[in-house]
Structure 1
Amino acid sequence: MAIKEQKFKTYSNEIKKEATRLHVEERWTYRRITEHFKIQDQSRVKKWMKSSRELGVFRLMDQRGRRKNISIKIDMFKSSDWKMKC
């Protein structure tokens, strides 16, 4: 449970993308990634991996306050018509 006036650590989209890339392509362990980027716990990286597997890079973006725009992009990304155009 959060403590009053507690500051939460946030990570940029670039760090999230790079961490997931290092795990998938370079086969880095969660421990090595957390030490390299100074991430507080390994479970954070595991959640990023799960999210990126489910919905790709759009899922790693911060979604607070912009759900409508991102959901449209995700729907477009999932649709087969969009994949054919690219």
Structure 2
Amino acid sequence: MATRLVTCYVAVCDLCGGTGDIDGVIPHFDTPEEVVDCLTADDYAGWTLTPDGVLVCDGRTDAAHEDAHAAAGKRMGPDAMTITFTHA
């Protein structure tokens, strides 16, 4: 049986330790920079990299997470845009 050790990077929230679970799959990347770039690609991406370098997930709605997103300029909460994905 052939095997190979593969080293990869996954996002881990600096506040809660959560990982970047997307539809039950944790995205893996070749570099830490690719992780951050992918998960914080635009204002609508769920993850936030704060100005002081804290990586924050979108999996929690507690005050610490909401404050971190707000500090980075993202609106979270009931008045924020909600995107729902459906499977065809």
Alignment TM-score, normalising by the size of structure 2: 0.25
Greater Cα radius of gyration, structure 1 or 2 = 1
Q: Which structure shows the bigger proportion of residues in helix conformation? A: 1
Alignment TM-score, normalising by the size of structure 1: 0.26
